[in-house]
């Protein structure tokens, strides 16, 4: 089966590597353009394999389709795609197009599905391999895999430890089902559909007057991107590693109530958050105690309320 791979980043590269190792006939790869000054190991791996490579700025560009048709694909595999793929490319292969999405569709359609599942305090999520159509994450489902979201999971840990490796396996399993003529097309239940936009910095502002669970979920649901935002002395900084803790002495929301060997504790409505790692503006991530020393932060000081 002649496969065209459309993808990017570490996930797309791992899918490509796995398909090659399994002896699949990958006849072409489409990647986004290079980022100036940033190495592209995926591109280099494709070039070493002497497989046709294209890097259009947009898959909708008029020159893309004629080049794509020359590859005579039987199946498109979409492995981490953020561009809009035109219908004529989706529908050309005789076996269609399959795509990976890191949620249990129809829940959490959109480009930040892992972020929102954690931010909303969910305890399970998963991945979906589906048949994309002209909608946004709306095509029929081929297969799904469920995973637990632990109380300590961040976007990074959930993706790299669970959804990334399981996603590669799921795409391989899906290709085998297609080869055997056993791949289902299960319509998504629109009554259960949710959609959230990209999780950006404006969505990641900490409101210390919220319950501690909500603040904790926001911090881990934006770690490592886009990073949750707080402020001290009107200067914003980002918070990464944290822990939800009990507050041993009362404090108003946003007040630093305690220091220990791991960091400092900030009061919320009903408890506190132990801040372990932060990123000051224009600097690398540092331990929170180092940051506190830099800005002379002490118990009794308050982080600005950005409500």
Q: What is the pTM of this model?
A: 0.95
Mean pLDDT of the 100-112 span: 98
* Dihedral class, residue 66 (left if φ above 0, else alpha if ψ from -120 to 50, else beta): alpha
User: For residue range 248-277, what is the model confidence (pLDDT) as tens digits?
Assistant: 778 999 999 999 999 999 999 999 999 999
Residue 305 counted as domain residue: no
pLDDT band at 304 (very low <50, low <70, confident <90, very high): confident
Average pLDDT estimate for 3-7: 98
Contact predicate 86/180, CB 8 Å: no
* Three-state DSSP state, 130: strand
| Residue given tokens 């990073």 in the structure block | 227
What is the average pLDDT score of the chain? Answer: 96
Looking at the fold, whether 208 and 136 belong to one and the same domain comes out as no
Residue 180: CA atoms inside 13 Å, Cβ hemisphere, count?
9
Q: Are residues 272 and 238 in the same domain?
A: yes
By percentage, how much of the chain surpasses pLDDT 90? 96
Q: Which pairs count as long-range contacts for 16-21, CB under 8 Å and 24+ apart, including other chains?
A: 16/42, 16/45, 16/46, 16/79, 17/45, 18/168, 18/172, 19/77, 19/172, 19/175, 20/49
State residue 196 phi and psi, 5-degree precision.
-130, 145
230 and 284 in a single domain? The answer is yes
154 with 227, same domain: the answer is no
Mean pLDDT over 156-164 rounds to 98
pLDDT reading at 81 higher than 60: yes
**Cα distance between residue 106 and residue 128, in whole Å:** 9
**Number of domains into which the chain is organized:** 2
**Helices 164-179 and 9-21 sit at what angle, rounded to 10 degrees?**
40
Would you say residue 307 lies in a domain?
no
Residues 6 and 102 in one domain: yes
Together in a domain, 86 and 144: yes
pLDDT reported for residue 306? 60
Starting at the edge strand that comes first in sequence, how are the strands of the sheet with 124-130 ordered? 53-54, 25-30, 2-7, 75-79, 97-101, 124-130, 141-148
Residue 307: pLDDT over 60: no
Residue 104 belongs to some domain of the structure: yes
Residues 6+ apart with CB under 8 A from 250: 257, 267
Quote the percentage of the chain above a pLDDT of 70: 99
Structure tokens at 275: 């801040």
Judgement on whether residues 25 and 116 belong to the same structural domain of the protein: yes
Average pLDDT over residues 290-304: 95
Of 192, 214, 237, which residue is a domain's last?
192
CATH number at residue 41: 3.40.50.170
Q: Which of 133, 165, 192 is a domain's end point?
A: 192
Section 42-68 average pLDDT: 97
Domain end among 173, 192, 211:
192
pLDDT band at 69 (very low <50, low <70, confident <90, very high): very high
pLDDT at 15: 98
Q: What Å distances lie between residue 88 and 6, 20, 62, CA to CA?
A: 14, 26, 12
The secondary structure of residue 220, as a DSSP letter, is H
- Look up the domain containing 224 and give its range: 201-295
């Amino acid at each position: 089966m002649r496969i065209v791979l459309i993808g990017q980043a570490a996930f797309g590269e791992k899918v490509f590597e796995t398909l090659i190792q399994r002896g699949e006939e990958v006849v072409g790869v489409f990647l986004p353009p290079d980022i100036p000054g940033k190495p592209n190991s995926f591109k280099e791996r494709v070039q070493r394999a002497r497989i046709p490579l294209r890097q259009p700025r947009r898959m909708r560009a008029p020159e893309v389709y004629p080049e794509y048709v020359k590859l005579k694909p039987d199946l498109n595999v979409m492995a981490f795609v953020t561009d809009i793929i035109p219908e004529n490319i989706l529908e050309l292969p005789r076996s269609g197009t399959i795509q990976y999405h890191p949620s249990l569709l129809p829940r959490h359609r959109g480009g930040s599905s892992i972020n929102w599942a954690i931010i909303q305090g969910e305890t399970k999520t998963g991945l979906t391999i589906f048949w994309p159509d002209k909608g946004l994450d709306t095509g029929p489902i081929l297969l799904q895999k469920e995973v637990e979201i632990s109380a300590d999971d961040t976007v990074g840990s959930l993706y790299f430890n669970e959804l990334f490796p399981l996603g590669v396996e799921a795409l391989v399993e899906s290709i085998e089902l297609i080869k055997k003529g056993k791949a289902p097309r299960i319509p998504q239940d629109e009554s259960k559909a949710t959609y959230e936009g990209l999780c950006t910095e404006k969505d990641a502002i900490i409101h210390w007057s919220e319950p501690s669970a909500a603040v904790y979920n926001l911090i881990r649901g934006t770690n490592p991107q886009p990073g949750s935002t707080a402020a001290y002395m009107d200067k914003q900084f980002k918070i990464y590693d944290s822990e939800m803790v009990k507050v041993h002495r009362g404090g108003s929301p946003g007040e630093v109530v305690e220091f220990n060997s791991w960091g400092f504790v900030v009061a919320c409505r009903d408890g506190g958050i132990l801040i372990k790692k932060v990123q000051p503006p224009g600097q690398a991530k540092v331990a929170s105690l180092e940051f506190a020393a830099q800005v002379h932060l002490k118990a009794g000081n308050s982080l600005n309320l950005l409500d």
